[in-house]
Amino acid sequence: MKQGLYTKKNLDGIDRYKDYTAKKFIMALFLLVMVFALSILAINSGSTNLDPYEILKSIVGQGTQVSDMVIWHIRLPRIIGAIVAGAGLSVAGCVMQNNLRNPLASPSTLGISNAAAFGANIAIVILGAGSLARTVIAPVILPVGAITSFLGAPLFLYLLLRGYKKR
């Protein structure tokens, strides 16, 4: 028997791969439907009571001024921002796991989360970010301290390990 590309063993592998990709497609479709359903639920939730028919009229362009204002200027931007932020965080996690070749990698693995907390604490304790003093830069001290520290942690690790070679 000739050992070629289409042996019984390879056909089993191809069938398993097709099943695997079909399961992934079904899961992705299910998650997309769930995001859509939860978005519809989020449009309906809030302090202003809007019934589903009024929401549908507003989305189509036939709603009242109040429903248009609430849906288009408050709720939909919030929903879109949440979806974009979630997608960005998931892509960042995938990139981190791929670059580190570690499926368990996370910001806490590298110490990035702790570095951001450390920077925020330094800003509060030493720079007085939490004080009652009203200055022009007081509102930005805390975020700048946290961002500087969380960007500095991977840079420090890179500089520390760039000469390291595996044995």
- What would the pLDDT profile of 126-136 be if each residue is shown by its tens digit? 887 777 666 77
Do 114 and 133 lie in one domain? The reply is yes
| Rounded Cα–Cα distance for residues 66 and 73 (Å) | 10
Rounded to an integer, what distance in angstroms lies between the CA atom of residue 94 and that of residue 90? 6
| Residue 25, token pair as written in the block | 């497609």
Residue 43 lies in a domain: yes
Q: Is 46 a member of any domain?
A: yes
Which pLDDT tens digit goes with each residue over 21-45? Answer: 999 999 999 999 999 999 988 998 8
- Residue 69 and residue 148: Cα distance in Å, rounded? 38
Find the helix packing angle between 138-161 and 112-125, rounded to 10°.
Answer: 140
Q: Are residues 69 and 147 in the same domain?
A: no
Range of the domain at 123: 106-161
The answer to whether residue 166 sits within a structural domain is: no
Pair 15, 88 in one domain:
yes
Closest CA to 107 of 142, 146, 81, 78: 146
The structure's pTM equals 0.67
In a domain, 90, yes or no: yes
Asked if residues 142 and 129 have their Cβ atoms less than 8 Å apart, the reply is: yes
85 and 132 co-located in one domain: no
Residues 91 and 12 in one domain: yes
Decide if 167 is inside a domain. no
Cα–Cα distance, 132 to 138 (Å, whole number): 9
Shared domain check, 60 and 129: no
pLDDT at 141: 87
- Residue 11 is predicted with a pLDDT of 64
Q: Are residues 111 and 75 in the same domain?
A: no
Contact by Cβ (8 Å): 46, 75: yes
CA distance 73 to 133: 34
d(C-alpha 79, C-alpha 42), whole Å: 7
Shared domain for 123 and 89, answered yes or no, is no
Please give the tally of structural domains in the chain.
2
Shared-domain flag, residues 22 and 6 = yes
Within this chain, do residues 61 and 97 fall inside the same structural domain, yes or no? yes
Which residue would you say has higher pLDDT here, 25 or 106? Answer: 25
Residues 79 and 126 in one domain: no
Q: 91 with 11, same domain?
A: yes
Question: Over the chain, what is the mean pLDDT?
Answer: 85
